[in-house]
């Protein structure tokens, strides 16, 4: 019998992928031109929270964080408080910094999900990764672009695609990773979707509706009789909400 999530595509899973987050630093976030820095931060946190919950290895790296580039985003530092941050002294292509390359090799994984603060610089590592035999998934909406935003984004996407890099969105990656995994019964929804609830626009409404269904708040009330009950203008008391 086939798995309910089986298919011909060798998809990303929590067991075969590693995440690389490049230079999401306070100073560098101010360079983002194609979306607000707040939106970019929201997207990378959605990706980071979900992949942390699912247990993927996550590599963090910064570049010259002692100067105007600034430190790692505080939210990422708090989320990965028990993880090493690989600090580079100026090397733009993160993969060419030996400590980062060694950390990636140590994971033993060949599928790399990568996001960087600005895609024209931070995502250039993707091309080297492909050349070294990695399958690379660049998360374009967790990576900003410097001015002029849309022109830069289109150029980067074209160049990366031509080099064999897969272009993804953070929610697309998370959905692929969650796939058909078992529900988190304590939360009433699928594992790792708290990040989706908090960071995907509309995700909170969708998942709260799902939660209402799971907890029986959208079930047909006992007093309803199909074909006989008519609207009265009055509703039954909802009772305490859990």
Instruction: Classify residue 92 as exposed, middle or buried by CB count within 10 Å of its CB (0-12, 13-18, 19+).
Output: middle
Asked, as a colleague might, if the bond just before 148 is cis with ω within 30 of 0, I would say yes
Instruction: Classify residue 19 as exposed, middle or buried by CB count within 10 Å of its CB (0-12, 13-18, 19+).
Output: buried
- DSSP-derived secondary structure letter, 92: S
End-to-end alpha carbon distance in the chain: 38
Q: Where are the alpha helices (DSSP H) in the chain?
A: 37-53, 74-79, 98-107, 119-122, 125-131, 149-162, 170-178, 193-199, 203-214
Decide if 122 is catalytic: yes
What is the Cα–Cα distance from 151 to 40, expressed in whole angstroms?
17
Residue 186 and residue 204 in contact, taking contact as beta carbons nearer than 8 Å:
no
- DSSP-derived secondary structure letter, 136: E
List the catalytic residue out of 29, 100, 122, 200.
122
φ and ψ at residue 88, rounded to 5 degrees: -100, 145
Give the catalytic positions in this structure: 122
């Amino acid at each position: 019998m086939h798995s309910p999530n089986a298919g011909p595509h060798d998809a990303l899973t929590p067991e075969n992928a590693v995440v690389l987050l490049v230079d999401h630093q306070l100073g560098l976030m101010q360079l983002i031109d194609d979306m607000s820095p707040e939106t970019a931060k929201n997207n990378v946190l959605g990706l980071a929270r979900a992949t942390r919950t699912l247990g993927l290895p996550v590599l963090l790296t910064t570049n010259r964080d002692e100067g105007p580039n600034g430190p790692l985003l505080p939210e990422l530092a708090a989320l990965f408080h028990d993880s090493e941050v690989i600090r580079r002294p100026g090397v733009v292509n993160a993969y060419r910094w030996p400590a980062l390359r060694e950390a990636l090799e140590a994971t033993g994984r060949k599928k790399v999900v990568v996001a960087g603060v600005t895609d024209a610089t931070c995502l250039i590592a993707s091309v080297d990764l492909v050349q070294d035999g990695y399958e690379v998934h660049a998360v374009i909406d967790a990576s900003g672009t410097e001015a002029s935003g849309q022109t830069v984004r289109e150029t980067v996407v074209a160049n990366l695609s031509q080099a064999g890099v897969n272009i993804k969105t953070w929610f697309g990656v998370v959905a692929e990773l969650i796939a058909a995994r078992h529900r988190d019964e304590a939360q009433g929804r699928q594992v790792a979707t708290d990040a989706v609830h908090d960071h995907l626009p509309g995700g909170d409404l969708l998942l709260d509706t799902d939660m209402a269904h799971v907890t029986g708040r959208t079930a047909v009330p006992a007093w309803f009789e199909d074909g006989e009950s008519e609207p009265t203008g009055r509703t039954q008391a909802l009772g305490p909400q859990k």
